[in-house]
């Protein structure tokens, strides 16, 4: 992002990324997760960094170099896969914060006539504002109920439009600690974790097969 003027413009602090229900962060200091570490590879202590608060971009991940370039503080996100590589800005444990307590999965799907329930994660890619995400598996939702299995579920589209279409977020939360990791800059696999509650997206481009 920091070397790309177009990406830097898209990631301007104060830009609205979603509805007020959306809160996103990255917490390298969380206990017992794959992406947890006390210090990054430049010696900066890790922390819980708010990225999106009530739908607004409020923070960005940084190394010492990128923080100095943009006049911000390092966040403890300079990471390298080994001593053979230079540290670059990477995620640690990135999450969507849970929504209102007591709001469950069934509350999110109860009035959906036809939809897709994407479960788990096999990975994803981004190219500026475009993304693709592969789910571990999926189910159809029919008349508010989880129905038949769907395979090869892929969610793709414009990142900003998709974030803005998150209309409901449940109060549950799960960390996904499956294998693999981040492959940014050819440094793979860097241990990371992602976490989220159930979220409901009002409209998205989804591919799959029964």
Tell me the per-residue pLDDT of 83-94, one tens digit each, with 9 for 90 and over.
888 999 999 999
For residue 190, the cross-strand partners are 182
Mean pLDDT of 100-107: 92
pTM assigned to the model: 0.89
Tell me the per-residue pLDDT of 129-165, one tens digit each, with 9 for 90 and over.
888 888 888 999 999 999 999 988 998 889 889 999 9
Beta-carbon contacts of 175 under 8 Å, excluding residues fewer than 6 positions away, are 33, 93, 95, 193, 194, 195
pLDDT above 60: residue 210: no
pLDDT-above-70 percentage for the chain: 93
Tell me the per-residue pLDDT of 33-83, one tens digit each, with 9 for 90 and over.
999 999 999 999 999 999 999 999 999 999 999 999 999 999 999 999 888
Structure tokens belonging to residue 79: 């990471």
Residue 209 is predicted with a pLDDT of 55
Tell me the per-residue pLDDT of 170-192, one tens digit each, with 9 for 90 and over.
999 999 877 667 767 777 788 89
Structure tokens belonging to residue 162: 């998709």
**Band of the pLDDT at 208, cuts 50, 70, 90?**
low
Residue 206 is predicted with a pLDDT of 82
Mean pLDDT of 200-207: 86
């Amino acid at each position: 992002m920091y070397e790309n003027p177009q990406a830097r413009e898209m990631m301007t602090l104060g830009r609205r990324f979603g509805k007020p229900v959306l809160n996103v962060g990255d917490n390298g200091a969380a206990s017992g997760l794959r992406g947890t570490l006390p210090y990054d590879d430049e010696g900066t202590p890790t922390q819980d960094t708010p990225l999106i608060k009530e739908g607004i971009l409020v923070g960005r991940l940084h190394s010492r170099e990128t923080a100095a370039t943009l006049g911000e503080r390092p966040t403890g996100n300079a990471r390298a896969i080994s001593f053979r590589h230079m540290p670059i800005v990477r995620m640690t444990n990135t999450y969507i914060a849970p929504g209102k307590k007591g709001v469950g999965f069934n509350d999110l799907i109860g009035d959906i006539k036809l939809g897709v329930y994407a479960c788990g994660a096999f990975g994803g890619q981004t190219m500026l504002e475009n993304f693709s995400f592969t789910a571990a598996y999926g189910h159809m939702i029919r008349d508010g109920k989880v129905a038949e299995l769907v395979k090869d579920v892929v969610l793709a589209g414009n990142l900003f439009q998709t974030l803005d279409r998150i209309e409901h977020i449940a109060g549950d939360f799960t960390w996904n600690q499956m294998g693999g990791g981040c492959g940014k800059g050819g440094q793979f696999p860097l241990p990371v974790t992602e976490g989220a509650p159930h979220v409901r997206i009002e409209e998205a481009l989804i591919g799959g097969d029964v």
